[in-house]
Amino acid sequence: MLAQSPPPLAQRTAQTDLPLDGPRADMLLPEVRLAIAVDPENRSISGEARYLVEARETLESLAFDLDPRFRISSIRIGQRTLENSEWANPDGLLGIALDTPLAEGASTHVFIAWEGAPHIALNPPWEGGFVWERTPSGEPWIATAVQGEGCDLFWPCIDHSSSRIGVIDTLVTVPDGLIAAGNGALIETRDHGDGTITFHWRARDPSNYGVSLQIGPYQMASRDYHSRFGNIIPIRFWHLPESKDGAHRLVAEMATYLDFFEARIGPYPFADEKAGVAETPHLGMEHQTINAYGNRFRRDPLGYDWLLQHEFAHEWFANQLTNATISHMWLHEGIGQWMQPLYLEWARGRMLHDAEMWRIRQRLHNRVPLVSRDGTLPDYNDQDSGWGTDIYYKGAWVMHSLRFLVGDDVLFPALTRLTYGTNNPQPGEIAPVLRTTDDFRAILEDMTGDDLAWFFDAYFYRAALPRLIAKREGRWLDLRWETPSDHDFAMPLELQTDGELRRIAMPDGSARVDLGDADTHFLIDPHNRILRYDEAIDETD
């Protein structure tokens, strides 16, 4: 029986992470072999995919997501080729009939062949799809960027954050003179003698949107990084010939990123494959082990390449730690964004950290919650809601305030546990984890012994920022938090008086402080550690 009542085509193909139901919810993909031939002149692709499908529960049928602009030429289950009447894909949900149910725990091989002209990205990477460009010397320069729209824009997949592939072999065939930089480790290249060459890559545990095609007349800059964990990590940067100097500079910079992330969070998760980058015609994207980079090697007065550092952060916060649903996307973007001021603090000092936090603070919208309680979210690109911005910048500022609340000795070990599922991750023993905001709360509560419902409700499930009401009467200062939350907002405050810095506890959301003298000058939150409403910022257009 085929899946019934799928979402309309415009919705299915335009948005990833739609509800995981029907056969898609009960299909595991331990192995995928994805072969794609790319025709730059006609802007088309043809593909053949072989899947090992394992049933989580008994399956009456199978289902994959695939943009229906492609023509499916063949589907095979085991050794049997299906008749056209045994499958249908009019709406982007490819339903495949089974002769007999696939029992729980059983597996079968599925083969799908398709071809066509993929959707062209309108504004990559924000509005994604295929990118067909030319290098400055006129050669084909091709990339995919499908985070918001999903892997189904160019191959049959289960388009949901929670669906990971055990091992994927990606075989990309391109015209001679081009190189396809891919996910994972390069297994072989095969020259067919007919003007085409195939690049065979193998990756473990990739996220669906992290599977990518990045193709051009590339050269490679490389070095090996000797990790503090005792292993060696290959750094590889595929770049256009005219970008040689910039690529070699950034390869050296990437070694500092590795040092920082491994010191702060833990071992690089994909050291057995590579830390890879490919120069692309669009700005960037966190494709697992082959990040897209299009920042044009511009130097920055902060002393680092913000784009490359941000995308590399996603190897930990997106590719290793993956949000269980798109509702928790701040775990990718907010924590990843926060890694930038943290890196500046580590590499260049506190002043640059504070300068970056101040820049970020001015970009918050606070119109909708960071996390939806019912899974209903505004569109990422909806400028009115600002959700697609707040998951970065508000998420980063929530982490900044959380650092003040619990301290480094709690927060960074908590991030390690959140990211790896263990307190002591070791190279060779790392597998990706799916996480929600509640998972983070549970870890922090376990480590602190405190109930943090008040913090998570106010910052993640409410749009408006907490407001601090301060009223002075002579030597007395009355402080009170106001939030839309039903919980008392128990955020403590730092108070500076005549050179003395005090931490003021506010367990019920209020406090009365003796300033000692009616003329005492005071300053609340002098280091700007708490995310709260600020009229000077939040009332400025």
In DSSP terms, which residues pair with 55 in a beta bridge?
27
Q: How far apart are the first and last CA of the chain?
A: 55
User: What pLDDT sits at residue 14?
Assistant: 63
Going residue by residue through the chain (541 aa), what tens digit of pLDDT does each one get? Answer: 233 333 444 445 667 888 889 999 999 999 999 999 999 999 999 999 999 999 999 999 999 999 999 999 999 999 999 999 999 998 899 999 999 999 999 999 999 999 999 999 999 999 999 999 999 999 999 999 999 899 999 999 999 988 999 999 999 999 999 999 999 999 999 999 999 999 999 999 998 899 999 999 999 999 999 999 999 999 999 999 999 999 999 999 999 999 999 999 999 999 999 999 999 999 999 999 999 999 999 999 999 999 999 999 999 999 999 999 999 999 999 999 999 999 999 999 999 999 999 999 999 999 999 999 888 888 888 889 999 999 999 999 999 999 999 999 999 999 999 999 999 999 999 999 999 999 999 999 999 999 999 999 999 999 999 999 999 999 999 999 999 999 999 999 999 998 899 999 999 999 999 999 999 999 999 999 999 999 999 887 5
Per the residue annotation, which of 311, 356, 380, 393 is the catalytic one?
Answer: 311
User: What pLDDT sits at residue 16?
Assistant: 83
Per the residue annotation, which of 392, 393, 420, 459 is the catalytic one?
Answer: 392
* Catalytic site includes residue 188: no
Identify the three-state secondary structure at position 152. Answer: helix
d(C-alpha 22, C-alpha 367), whole Å: 34
Tokens of 282: 């669009």
**Closest to 269 in 3D by CA, of 323, 233, 225:** 233
Tokens of 163: 């669906």
* Catalytic site includes residue 315: no
Q: Tell whether residue 282 is among the known ligand binding residues.
A: no
d(C-alpha 105, C-alpha 91), whole Å: 29
Q: Tell whether residue 487 is among the known ligand binding residues.
A: no
Question: In which residue are the tokens 């998760």 written?
Answer: 269
3-state helix, strand, coil in the chain (%, to 5): 25, 35, 40
Q: Which residues contact 423 (CB under 8 A, 6 or more apart)?
A: 413, 416, 417
d(C-alpha 51, C-alpha 112), whole Å: 9
Tokens of 161: 């954050």
- For the chain, domains (ranges, CATH) are 9-217 (2.60.40.1730), 230-308 (3.30.2010.30), 321-460 (1.10.390.10), 467-538 (2.60.40.1910)
User: What pLDDT sits at residue 3?
Assistant: 30
d(C-alpha 415, C-alpha 234), whole Å: 25
Q: Tell whether residue 314 is among the known ligand binding residues.
A: yes
Element (H, E) at 395: helix 387-406
User: What pLDDT sits at residue 90?
Assistant: 86
Q: Which residues contact 437 (CB under 8 A, 6 or more apart)?
A: 328, 330, 331, 371, 456, 460
Torsion of CA 253, 259, 260, 264, to 10 degrees: 160
Identify the three-state secondary structure at position 148. Answer: coil
